Amino acid sequence: MISFVATPIGNLKDITLRALEELKAADIIFCEDTRHTLKLLSAYEIKKPLLSCHKFNEREAAEKMISLSREGKRVAVVSDAGMPVISDPGREVCRILKEAGERYTVLPGANAALSALVLSAFPAEKFAFLGFLPEKKGERRAVLEEYALSRETLIFHCAPQDVDGYIADMAEVLGDRRACAVREITKIHEESVEFSLKEGLSGEKRGEYVLVVEGAGARENPLCALSVREHVRAYMAEGLDKKEALKHAARDRGVPKSALYKETLDL
């Protein structure tokens, strides 16, 4: 049997009893970074053989897992923190296991994105988790543009050196919105700071961040119930040229004009 096991995202006490049982029972553990996983295992006096499973060797690791499992070995898969696969290695492994017809299971646990959503106090009825955005600015903006009109709360993972760049691009593409920067989740210096995308996040950026951004939001203007094209057409029917109609529609919806432009190219 192969088990994907969630591990703590900060506080080592946030590991489940079932996860500890599985790690103790495993014949071998595949992990993102053996040094990191050793700290967790040592804290609970667990000694097991460790093999690497990172984004550069997932196929090789998956084939080894299948071989071990078919030999009757018990295999556990962990990442450095939180749930394997979610912004961590493992997706390719799951795909290969599925294609091979190899059964596997998951042991749920700590999750940074959901914890940050709770700490932000932003609407949690509907949300979109986008993980890490692309490194290239153009690709990053393209992803943001896909969600510019979404009313769901948006959740992103972000390395400290990328925080200011992420926020600047979000402000340009999404417009000015409330946002919340959450870091050091479950640790002593846990922090949840609300800010506006336009003003940015002040202070030194340290540690891994989860950025939570409010959705486009429902507007009182009844035109917002229309499609983007119909919304712009309505203003054009009043005598406005396309440029002004776009500006009015974007203002109604609380988004930048660029977010609507592609949908109105042929108007």
Residues 64 and 140 in one domain: no
Q: What is the mean pLDDT of residues 221-225?
A: 72
Report strand pairing: 2-5 vs 127-131: unpaired
Least confident of 72-81, 179-188, 230-239, 256-265: 256-265
Residue 130 has pLDDT above 90, yes or no: yes
Residue 71 included in any domain: yes
Please say which residue of 107, 134, 165 terminates a domain: 107
* Sheet of 104-107, strands arranged across: 50-52, 28-31, 75-77, 2-5, 104-107
Residues 200 and 241 in one domain: no
| CA gap 71, 66 in Å, rounded | 9
Residue 113 included in any domain: no
Residue 112 included in any domain: no
Residues 249 and 179 in one domain: no
Residue 217: count other Cβ atoms within 10 Å of its Cβ: 13
Residue 37: count other Cβ atoms within 10 Å of its Cβ: 22
Handedness of CA 73, 77, 78, 79 (dihedral sign): positive
Residues 101 and 130 in one domain: no
Please say which residue of 44, 76, 107 terminates a domain: 107
Q: Which of helix, strand or coil describes residue 213?
A: strand
Q: What is the pLDDT of residues 58-83, one digit of tens each?
A: 999 999 999 999 999 999 999 999 99
Please say which residue of 107, 139, 171 terminates a domain: 107
Q: Across all residues in the chain, what is the average pLDDT?
A: 92
Domain hosting residue 233, numbered range: 222-264
Residue 26 included in any domain: yes
- Number of domains comprising the chain: 3
pTM recorded for the entire structure: 0.81
Amino acid identity of residue 86, one-letter, is: I
Residues 60 and 138 in one domain: no
